[in-house]
Amino acid sequence: MKKLFSILLMAAICLPAAAQENQKGEIVKKGINFGPLPAVGASSDLGIQYGLLSDIFWYGDGSTYPDYIWKANVEASRYTKGNSVLHAYFDSKYLIPGIRVSADLTYLGNKTSGFYGFNGAPARYLKSMDEIVKGQGLYLFRRDDLRFEFTTQGKIGNSHWGWVGGLAYNWYKVGHAENKDLSGDARDYSLYDLYVDNQVIPTEEKNGGHHLEFKAGVVYDTRDHENNPSRGSNLELFFYGSPDILNGDRGGYRNDYLKLAVHFKQFFTLVPDRLVFGGHLAYQGLIAGNAPFYTLQTIMPINRKKIITDGLGGYSTIRGVVINRLLGNGLAWGNFELRWSFARFKLFNQNFILATNPFFDLGMVVQPYRKAQLEALSANNTVVATLPDGSTLYGKDLYTGQAEKLHMSAGAGLHVIMNQNFNVSFEVGKCFDKNDGKGVGFSIGLNYIF
């Protein structure tokens, strides 16, 4: 917690602003607010984070506060489990009259990404193997992602409805995990290797690929504030897909796909300026085509709350379930929480809120992925790994064939919010089923997850 508050003190480095107050008694921010900060965070999925980041807000004459005129964010950091982040982001509702523009350029390099198989419950989870054990990493593979996203939004008349359109480019590089503690010999055989050898992951996909995605849809928004709402609704419904035009001739094999994403968020004020109920229901599913396996964990938003939005499972979707635990053609999930602002104060000419948020999350795979190929594993006698107790693990042991079910977790968080927009969060969640994780997951990062 000492690190958490040191971050906030550094965040208060900003240009002087007049101490004019609004009707809520908050200082109306004007001009620019920024601060280069240490990127100090932590996650049970990714490890300890270290590096540098900076959030930059331009409020102009203060007439739009708590909305900013524009925001920029840059980050260069690493996690101790092998993930590296290079990130630049820009967002503005006001720079171009009537048009919201956001752009994201990010490189996520992860030599030890978690990979637990497809379709949720049928993919067996062994807690004792969810680490590097005697030179073998059963649930690890490499997944690097270089992405560029450009999104525009506009109003439809004078209503709360709007349109959204955008494009994105992603280059994925995938393969066997790379880590100094892996043996690199026959013992180091992973679930990824098993899937490749049994054509659950086709040869054409095993090294990754290039994808140009297009996005189009509608939004509805009555929230009083986007980043820290106390009331209102928000609906995002959009299609996104990729024609397979960048991967060259692969003997007729193609990865064209079209998906639908729906996010609905609802907020109710229970006690004014104190207690808010927030709910989020989401669906992301395949409509047509053949999505490559390395895109399944990408949760597609319109505007990113977090740099890493992978799931299903992890600190941005189902907190307490290991990240990417649930992969499939179609995913459905929900997040429900009470946000209690138990303290409000001014410090260093900034507005601060201290809040806590007990939460309940749930989700499941609703469209299976390559089910027939997975069922073939039930007869596979390949020796995959040696368990810590000395027993042998076979390929058939990693596909149970059981029906998918709801995966649930619960927990609570602490949030320190500056000027309604900069939010340092600490959250802890526990999964309900031992087949979903190590028990308790935690994260220190930025922003509410919805």
In single-letter form, the type of residue at position 192 comes to Y
Query: Within 10 Å of residue 383's Cβ, how many Cβ atoms?
Result: 12
> What per-residue confidence (pLDDT) applies to 49?
84
Using alpha carbons, list the distances in angstroms from residue 258 to 103, 153, 369: 22, 21, 15
> What per-residue confidence (pLDDT) applies to 1?
43
Please tell me the distance from the alpha carbon of residue 171 to that of residue 148, in angstroms, as a whole number. 9
Residue 3 has pLDDT above 60, yes or no: no
Residue 11 has pLDDT above 50, yes or no: no
* 3-state secondary structure at position 307: coil
Q: How confident is the model at residue 114 (pLDDT cuts 50, 70, 90)?
A: very high
Residue (of 166, 310, 304) closest to 239 by Cα position: 166
Question: Mean pLDDT throughout 9-34?
Answer: 69
Mean pLDDT, the chain, rounded, equals 91
What residues contact 47, with CB distance under 8 A and at least 6 apart? 79, 80, 81, 82, 83
Q: Which of 56-65, 228-237, 282-291 has the weakest average pLDDT? A: 56-65
Q: Could you tell me if residue 297 is left (phi over 0), alpha (psi between -120 and 50 degrees) or otherwise beta?
A: alpha
Class of domain 87-446: mainly beta
> What per-residue confidence (pLDDT) applies to 360?
98
Cβ atoms of residues 378 and 430 within 8 Å: no
Predicted model pTM: 0.91
Q: What is the pLDDT of residues 171-198, one digit of tens each?
A: 999 999 999 899 988 889 999 999 999 9
Element (H, E) at 191: helix 191-197
Label residues 292-327 b or e (16+ Cβ within 10 Å = b).
Answer: bbbbbbbbbbbbbbbbbbbbbbbbbbbbbbbbbbbb
> What per-residue confidence (pLDDT) applies to 35?
66
Q: How confident is the model at residue 34 (pLDDT cuts 50, 70, 90)?
A: confident
Strands 140-155 and 161-175 come out as: antiparallel
Please tell me the distance from the alpha carbon of residue 27 to that of residue 254, in angstroms, as a whole number. 55
Q: What is the pLDDT of residues 411-445, one digit of tens each?
A: 999 999 999 999 999 999 999 999 999 888 888 88
Q: Which of 35-49, 102-116, 268-282 has the weakest average pLDDT? A: 35-49
Number of H helices, E strands in the chain: 3, 21
Token pair recorded at residue 104: 């994201």
* 3-state secondary structure at position 26: coil
Residue 146 has pLDDT above 90, yes or no: yes
Report the percent of the chain where pLDDT is more than 90.
76
Q: What is the pLDDT of residues 357-413, one digit of tens each?
A: 999 999 999 999 999 999 988 889 888 988 988 899 999 999 988 999 999 999 999
Residue 64 has pLDDT above 50, yes or no: yes
Please tell me the distance from the alpha carbon of residue 344 to that of residue 417, in angstroms, as a whole number. 9
Query: Within 10 Å of residue 146's Cβ, how many Cβ atoms?
Result: 16
Q: What is the pLDDT of residues 211-252, one digit of tens each?
A: 999 999 999 999 999 999 999 999 999 999 999 999 999 999
Quote the DSSP letter at residue 265.
Answer: E
* Beta partners for residue 288, in sequence order: 258
What are 410-414's contacts with CB under 8 Å, separation 24+? 410/320, 410/358, 410/359, 410/360, 410/361, 411/319, 411/320, 411/358, 411/359, 412/356, 412/357, 412/358, 412/359, 413/356, 413/357, 413/359, 414/354, 414/355, 414/356
- How many residues does the structure list for the chain? 450
Residue (of 291, 285, 361, 364) closest to 326 by Cα position: 364
Residue 5 has pLDDT above 80, yes or no: no
Please tell me the distance from the alpha carbon of residue 279 to that of residue 301, in angstroms, as a whole number. 16
Domain ranges of the chain: 87-446
Q: What is the pLDDT of residues 319-330, one digit of tens each?
A: 999 999 999 999
Please tell me the distance from the alpha carbon of residue 347 to that of residue 448, in angstroms, as a whole number. 22
> What per-residue confidence (pLDDT) applies to 6?
45
Q: Which of 46-50, 220-224, 226-230, 332-336 has the weakest average pLDDT? A: 46-50
Please tell me the distance from the alpha carbon of residue 311 to that of residue 325, in angstroms, as a whole number. 7
Residue 14 has pLDDT above 80, yes or no: no
Q: Which of 44-48, 138-142, 150-154, 373-377 has the weakest average pLDDT? A: 44-48
Cβ atoms of residues 311 and 299 within 8 Å: yes
Cβ atoms of residues 255 and 262 within 8 Å: no
